[in-house]
Amino acid sequence: MTEGNPRKAQQIQGEPGLRSLAPPIYPATVYCCDSPQQASDLLAGEIDGFVYSRDGHPNSDMLAARCAELHHADHAAITGSGMAALALAITAHLKQGDHVVVSHQLYGRSLALFTSEIERMGIGSTQVDTNNLDAVQSAITSATRFLITETISNPMLHVADLRSLAKIAHDHNTLLLVDNTLASPVLCRPLTLGADLVVESITKIMNGHSDVILGCLCGMRSSWERVALAATTWGLFASPIECWLGMRGMATLSLRMERASATALALAEQLAGHRTITAVHYPGLTERTDHQLATRQLATGIGNPGYGNMLTIELAGGYDAAERFIRAVTPEIPFCPSLGELTTTLSHPETTSHREMNPEQLRAAGITGGTIRLSIGIESADSILAALERGLQTKA
């Protein structure tokens, strides 16, 4: 199982004369053992090395070591997707009769996982607005094992107060699990704010090149006891080539996030007040109620502070305006329902990521037919603005 052990990762960098600057790829499914004693010691983790790739392999170890370093984590596990990293947290920590408190603004699939899916396993859940700390306090019961939130929610980009949520969780003997995908470790390291477990969908800006589905779970020693066993037993591993690609993408993570964040802020400021836009949602805008919190919290990562690459706008003309806007801005800004790509993309939450919500839930989340979510890439702000302006000028 992938443990992010830097000693193990160094050991696999190659013999003298074979020390490639780029890491090699190890596609092997199984490794040869010298003796029964060595096999036993390897499997027990008493000596460093690999036996069977579902338990761990060099490429996932290298990537896990990097994720652990980025998050100041004691441990990291690489999984086949961001959803698998959340599933790993569940299989490692929860059992029948437990209960979780979950943000009602989680990514749709995550919300389904932490409500209807775990309910099938006899685990209860309560949805709350994790920006309302009193509501969080009241939702926790003596059976609550996890409090789950996202650092920056989607698509309204609300910033959760992780330090306060960690305190509430710990006062009730509960773990705080944070999905940090929209912030990435460039802007925020939840473990340094008191979180116990952090998930990243590496698929998004961590890899950033739209060619890998991967996830990671990072944690401290105290929250890790069953993780390795759960990962290998439930088969939640990732393939060597995916890990290698993820490593390559992550080499430029800070550069990409810092550039995209600066561009997103400039665009948010320019779009606010545009006559065909009724609202701009971006934590970097000073009038936001969570702006000061965002300024503090999104400066706890490895990079320069910023407010992220995600920006959501509300078009005055509702669904019809969204259709016209999307037709006018593509192909320069493609309609791709994901985020964190190299280039700017857009999504329409009502018909994609949030399509399973009923009208009341959509209203509570503030999503309408005119909501457009932008994932800003590394192009120049001027070129993105020119494409957006074209979309904003379309008439019925």
Ligand X SMILES: Cc1ncc(COP(=O)(O)O)c(C=O)c1O
Instruction: List interacting residues with ligand X (CB under 6 A).
Output: 81-83, 107, 110, 150, 154, 179, 181-182, 201, 203, 213, 215
Using the minimum distance from each CB to ligand X, give the nearer residue, 58 or 82. 82
Task: Report H helices in the chain.
Answer: 6-11, 36-44, 58-71, 82-93, 108-112, 118-119, 133-139, 162-171, 184-187, 227-233, 240-250, 253-271, 291-297, 318-329, 359-365, 381-392
What single DSSP character describes residue 158?
Answer: P
Question: Could you tell me the smallest distance in angstroms from the CB atom of residue 184 to ligand X?
Answer: 11
- Closest approach of ligand X to the CB of residue 212, in Å: 9
Beta carbon nearer to ligand X, 175 or 182: 182
Nearer to ligand X (CB atom), residue 83 or residue 140: 83
**Is 313 exposed, middle or buried (CB count within 10 Å of its CB: 0-12, 13-18, 19+)?**
buried
CB of 82 to ligand X, least distance (A): 2
∠ CA 76-78-83 to the nearest 5 degrees?
110
Decide whether 82 or 306 has the Cβ nearer to ligand X: 82
Q: Is the CB of residue 153 less than 8 Å from the CB of residue 160?
A: yes
* Distance in Å, CB of 200 to ligand X, minimum: 8
Is the Cβ of residue 213 or residue 267 nearer to ligand X in the bound state? 213
- Distance in Å, CB of 97 to ligand X, minimum: 26
Measured from the CB atom, the residue of 42 and 197 that comes closer to ligand X is 197
Six-digit token string for 191 = 């473990």
Sign of CA dihedral 40, 46, 51, 56: positive
Going by DSSP bridges, is the β-strand pair 75-79/215-219 parallel, antiparallel, or unpaired?
antiparallel
Nearer to ligand X, 324 or 373 (CB): 373
Least CB distance to ligand X at residue 354 (A): 11
Residue 41 CB, shortest distance to ligand X, in Å, is: 34
With b for 16 or more beta-carbon neighbours within 10 A and e for fewer, the 138-173 pattern comes to ebbeeebbbbbbbbbbbbbbbbbbbbebbebbeebe
> Residue of minimal CB distance from ligand X?
82
Using the minimum distance from each CB to ligand X, give the nearer residue, 182 or 384. 182
- 3-state secondary structure (DSSP) of residue 280: strand
| Dihedral pair phi/psi, residue 94, rounded to 5° | -105, 155
In the complex, minimum distance from the CB of residue 301 to ligand X, in angstroms, rounded to a whole number: 16
Dihedrals phi, psi of 374, to nearest 5 degrees: -110, 135
Least distance CB 373 / ligand X (angstroms)? 10
Nearer to ligand X, 174 or 207 (CB): 207
One-letter identity of residue 55: D
- Copy the structure tokens of residue 91: 């299989």
The first and second tokens of residue 364, run together, are 């509570």
